[in-house]
């Protein structure tokens, strides 16, 4: 990266000192991760943002829903900045407040809303989190989805899982021992979600028809191909991958889990990792070193690319955000509206309190 920009980022951070706290999701570019005070998966970053009440500014290097969650969990005096407002998440965009309200009407008409609790993946807008809080549900991330679902099924008979059908299905089937038949998919673009009243009554998991455009591209063929190409390879994937991919993998987990699994792996072992490319490249470089065990790490499918919205946060945007703060201007502030925040916070706090 541009040495001039690196020096400017370093100088701005130094001058801001403890007034600023920079969070970096594991999918961020190397040039950005270098300036993160803490890195993590979505769960860890939400907790870390909440644990820094002394920082005036939280600069969130990640995507929009993460910055919203940080705003909800920090104090009203703290200001959250997303260095590029175009850093959204295509999965989060797949569930709008209007669509979800309509879905709840469909469940109500079918007579199942009373026995359904919503569980929403962190990768959703603050509006969806507020809907979840209003209806007694919880947020989950890929690192606590099992605990969230176990909690939900103690509360209620059915779960409406938003918006990632894959995380919902993978967790229900792999961790809770449900069958694929226990799950139905609600399609917001079809009347009544494309489901009959009987289907809604019989289902235990009502999965929203959303997915991650990056993880959705890993296929069963990519798993077969890498196993043929690299004998003895271990396949490690994120639970946003399709059920057939997750079923064919050796290990499944959040980005933080993936890092820990590779840290614990025996020296010389071989791994094909199915998650975002910035992270996989960084891990491949890190673990190739003899001092880190000389582990061979490859990207599960060479045709899959970066998460384009995560990549929007680059060094020029980070420098601009930090230097603006130095000059007393808060650019790209993410601020969730009060009523939405109140209910979204309820749902997020339920997640933080999961047993
Ligand atoms: P985690 O970091 O929680 O595993 O989530 C991955 C992701 O897709 C974030 O957008
Ligand atoms: Fe959204 Fe997928 Fe990118 Fe994560 S990797 S931010 S889920 S599009």
Mutation to probe ligand 2, out of 163, 310, 311, 313 (largest number of atoms < 8 A from CB)? 310
Fold match flag (3-89+309-337 vs 92-212)? yes
Residue closest by Cα to atom 4 of ligand 1: 254
What distance in Å separates the CA atoms of residue 185 and residue 192, rounded to the nearest whole number? 11
Measured in residues, the chain has a length of 355
Asked if residue 240 belongs to a known ligand binding site, the reply is yes
Q: Which residues line ligand 2 (CB under 6 A)?
A: 63, 89-91, 123, 212-215, 240, 276, 307, 309-310
Instruction: Encode pLDDT of 210-261 as tens digits.
Output: 999 999 999 999 999 999 999 999 999 999 999 999 999 999 999 999 999 9
- Tokens 């000059």 map to which residue? 327
Between 27-36, 62-71, 298-307, the lowest mean confidence (pLDDT) is in: 298-307
**Ligand 1 centre distance from Cα of residue 142 (Å):** 7
**Using an 8 Å Cβ cutoff, are 249 and 166 in contact?**
no
pLDDT at 162: 98
Mean pLDDT of all residues in the chain? 97
Helix (H) / strand (E) containing 139: strand 138-140
Tell me the C-alpha to C-alpha distance, in Å, between residue 164 and each of 55, 65, 123, 215, 314: 33, 14, 8, 11, 27
Nearest ligand 2 atom to alpha carbon 240: 7
Which pTM was predicted?
0.96
Closest atom, ligand 2, to C-alpha of 92: 1
Give, in words, the CATH class of 3-89+309-337: alpha beta
Query: Which atom number of ligand 2 is nearest to the Cα of residue 275?
Result: 5
Q: Domain ranges for the chain, please list them.
A: 3-89+309-337, 92-212, 215-299
Instruction: Please check if 254 is assigned to a binding site.
Output: no
- The answer to whether the CB of 275 is under 6 A from ligand 1 is no
Percentage of residues of the chain with pLDDT beyond 90: 98
- CATH number for domain 92-212, candidates 3.30.390.10, 3.40.50.720, 3.40.50.10800, 3.40.50.300: 3.40.50.10800
Q: pLDDT-derived band of residue 1, with 50, 70 and 90 as boundaries? A: confident
pLDDT in tens, 295-326: 999 999 988 889 999 999 999 999 999 999 99
Q: Which fold has domain 215-299?
A: Rossmann fold (3.40.50)
ipTM: 0.97
């Amino acid at each position: 990266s541009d040495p001039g920009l690196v020096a400017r980022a370093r100088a701005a951070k130094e001058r801001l000192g403890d007034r600023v706290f920079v969070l970096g999701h594991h999918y961020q570019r190397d040039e950005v991760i270098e300036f993160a005070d803490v890195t993590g998966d979505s769960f860890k970053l939400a907790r870390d943002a909440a644990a820094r009440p002394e920082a005036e500014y939280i600069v969130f290097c990640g995507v929009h829903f993460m910055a919203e969650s940080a705003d909800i969990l920090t104090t009203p005096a703290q200001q959250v900045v997303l260095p590029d407002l175009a850093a959204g998440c295509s999965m989060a965009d797949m569930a709008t407040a209007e669509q979800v309200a309509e879905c709840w009407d469909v469940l109500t008409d079918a007579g199942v809303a009373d026995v359904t609790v919503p569980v929403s993946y962190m990768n959703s807008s603050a509006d969806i989190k507020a809907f979840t809080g209003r209806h007694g549900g919880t947020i989950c991330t890929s690192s606590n989805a099992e605990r969230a679902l176990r909690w939900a099924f103690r509360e209620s008979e059915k779960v409406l899982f938003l918006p990632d059908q894959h995380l919902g299905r993978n967790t229900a089937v792999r961790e809770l021992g449900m069958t694929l038949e226990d799950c139905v998919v609600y399609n917001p673009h079809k009347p009544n979600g494309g489901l009959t009243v009987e289907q809604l009554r019989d289902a235990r998991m009502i999965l929203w028809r959303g997915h991650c455009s990056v993880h959705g591209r890993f296929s069963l063929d990519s798993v077969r191909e890498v196993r043929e190409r690299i004998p003895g390879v271990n396949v490690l994937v994120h639970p946003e991958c399709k059920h057939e991919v997750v079923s064919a993998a050796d290990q499944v987990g959040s980005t933080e889990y993936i890092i820990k699994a590779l840290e614990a792996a025996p020296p010389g072992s071989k791994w094909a990792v199915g998650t975002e490319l910035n992270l996989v490249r960084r891990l491949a470089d890190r673990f190739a070193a003899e001092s880190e065990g000389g582990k061979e790490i490859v990207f599960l499918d060479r045709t899959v690319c970066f998460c384009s919205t995560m990549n929007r946060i680059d060094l020029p945007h980070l420098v601009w955000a930090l230097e603006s703060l130095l000059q007393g201007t808060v650019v790209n502030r993410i601020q969730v509206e009060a009523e939405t925040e109140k209910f979204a916070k309820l749902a997020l706090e339920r997640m933080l309190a999961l047993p």
